Structure 1
Amino acid sequence: MRNLLVTTALAALLSGCAVSSHATQKSTLGVPRSSADMLAVIDQPGPISFETVASCDWQVDRSGLINLKHPRAKEAGLTDGPEKIQVFFHVLRHPTHGTFIVDTGVEKALRDNPSKAAVRGLVASVMKLETMKFNEPLGDWLAKQQAPLQGVFLTHLHFDHIAGMADVPAGTAVYTGPGEASFREFQNMFVQGNSDRALQGKAPISEWSFEPDATGRFAGVLDIFGDGSVWALWVPGHTPGSTAYLVRTTKGPVLLTGDASHTRWGWEHDVEPGTFSSNIPKSADSLARLRQLAAEHPTLQVYLGHQL
């Protein structure tokens, strides 16, 4: 019996825990479509006013951002070391549905009172937060807005994408890809407390209700508002629920890749992210699908996960 208990405990330890224990639910927002429906309208001007905010500058290990084992990375002579990146949030203003953000930048407390920030302790140390240069934490931006924030569309739940969540007003709707919050990894044993603090007081995480894309171009395609203005694209690999967003703005179509591609070099050379991804082969596949979309639509402006 004792051996069984030890074995069970070790199995639980090795399997890790979920990235967050925050409540989840199936999203009622969004209509499953095929990519053909999206492609029929992608090049038409849309109703969305769009803005990107570089919340902070940062440096992280290149081996996490780019798969340095990829033949093209080896041929280019890329080696590990600090890579300059930024942490973004993107603002979508819909004429009738209101203001939404994609990802969250960083919270004010991370700059003003780090010991009270959602991310602190061991996680903060590992993330090298001392290298951050703060530009506009989400709380500063929100304080200047007249219209209330209607919701947060997340590309995924890695902490550099929910690091501003503590500044989001209580009760705000939060959306992410399927299985994202429940995905189990050993490292989440250290991360979960930070994620839960960031999400405290927010509505349950609503997971996009993707259905298989009839054309097979993406794992799933969702028309978020039902009017063809904002599309969620399921691009698993970096994380199981990773989601990219296609936005038809007043100035043309915009693609927000999330961390399907962190860097400009990775995007331009078709090299997927490295050790930060949970499944590198799937990550490479999702990157290829997004690059094909961009190649077929030259007016598409591409915003990568951490570099412009």
Structure 2
Amino acid sequence: MNSKIHVWHTGQVYIDQAMAFQEKTLHPMPYTGWLRSSAKQRWVPVSAYLIEHPKGLVLVDTGWHEDIRTNQRKHLGWLTSTMFKGTLPKGQSIAERLQAKGIDHKDIDYVLLTHLHSDHVSGVKHVADAKHILTSKLEWDAAQKGVGYIRPMWEGVNINTFELQRIPHGPYQLGYDLFQDGSLYMVHTPGHSKGLFSVLVQTNRGWVLLASDVGYSNRSWEQNILPGVTVDKVAAQKSLDWVGEFRKRDDCVQVMANHDPAIGEQIIE
């Protein structure tokens, strides 16, 4: 399957290290960064991926919206802006990335939102006219009433949902076969959020797993460290275990966490 994957950094996010790697501490919410030393804060990339698939253009996540450059407090909301902040250098927004490649967002066949946390969905209005914008129904339902979501970020955008189906991969063997040919799966990997999915892409060399926020770097599955924020620790552990096992497969080319500073921009062919 001759798919090409463009790995882009669509800005950075400044977080407490406990957001990325769960800590044992007396602090009740260390991931917020509140009353924590600046030595514990880290800049990490906010990644998005453009997949040139034989059956269409697929964008995975949307990074920061350009509004992050001008009014972060309004874009993130006051409370969220006290926990983390973003930066978006010129040329790195999804709109600018696509324009540089000569791609009109109306020509994108699918935008896949792995989950609806702000650093993954912030830029969705830049691609609001894509042919299909998808997230899981579990995630959509959770985001309508749950905490940790900034609903104005996708207000007015036509986001469709998919129901989980049986697939041959994942901790629960649930997800969605996007093209119905076994070449690109949205794999149900919950725990960090209720409906989080990873994206599994078949290339000529083997599988590439875009693991979203199942973990924050290779360290997560190598050292078995959950993200600092989970809605279901049992499910988060099961998802992390599956990623750790999948990366050992002979036909697995690469596994990438969305916020891994060690993953540079690249093209996987």
Aligned 8 A contact 1:54 1:87 in 2? yes
Match of 2:111 in 1: 152
The structure 2 residue matched to 1:168, chosen from 105, 113, 127, is 127
Amino acid of the structure 2 residue aligned with 1:278:
V
Tell me the CA shift for residue 81 of structure 1. 1.6
Amino acid of the structure 1 residue aligned with 2:53:
H
| Structure 1 consecutive aligned stretches of length 4 or more whose deviation exceeds 4 Å | 212-217
1:300 and 2:256 equivalent? Answer: no
1:103 and 2:103 equivalent? Answer: no
Question: In structure 2, what is the Cα distance between the partners aligned to 1:283 and 1:109?
Answer: 31
Unaligned 5+ segments in structure 1 are 1-45, 71-78
Match of 1:288 in 2: 241
Residues 145, 201 of structure 1: CA spacing in aligned structure 2 closer, same or farther, 3 A cutoff? farther
The structure 2 residue matched to 1:125, chosen from 76, 81, 86, is 81
Residues 259, 222 of structure 1: CA spacing in aligned structure 2 closer, same or farther, 3 A cutoff? same
Match of 1:94 in 2: 53
Using the aligned pairs only, state the percent identity.
Answer: 23
Aligned 8 A contact 1:55 1:87 in 2? yes
Q: For 1:155, what is the secondary structure of its paired residue?
A: coil
Tell me the CA shift for residue 252 of structure 1. 3.7
Instruction: Pick the structure with greater CA Rg.
Output: 1
Tell me the CA shift for residue 270 of structure 1. 1.7
Question: In structure 2, what is the Cα distance between the partners aligned to 1:67 and 1:48?
Answer: 35
RMSD, matched Cα: 2.7
Question: In structure 2, what is the Cα distance between the partners aligned to 1:88 and 1:215?
Answer: 23
Residues 124, 215 of structure 1: CA spacing in aligned structure 2 closer, same or farther, 3 A cutoff? closer
Match of 1:223 in 2: 177
Aligned 8 A contact 1:219 1:235 in 2? no
Moved more, 292-301 or 226-235: 292-301
Q: For 2:198, what is the secondary structure of its paired residue?
A: strand
Question: In structure 2, what is the Cα distance between the partners aligned to 1:219 and 1:83?
Answer: 34
Match of 1:114 in 2: 71
Tell me the CA shift for residue 165 of structure 1. 1.1
Aligned 8 A contact 2:167 2:176 in 1? no
Aligned 8 A contact 2:110 2:130 in 1? no
Aligned residues: 244
Moved more, 296-305 or 178-187: 178-187
Unaligned 5+ segments in structure 2 are 26-36, 264-269
Moved more, 247-256 or 286-295: 247-256
Moved more, 217-226 or 251-260: 217-226
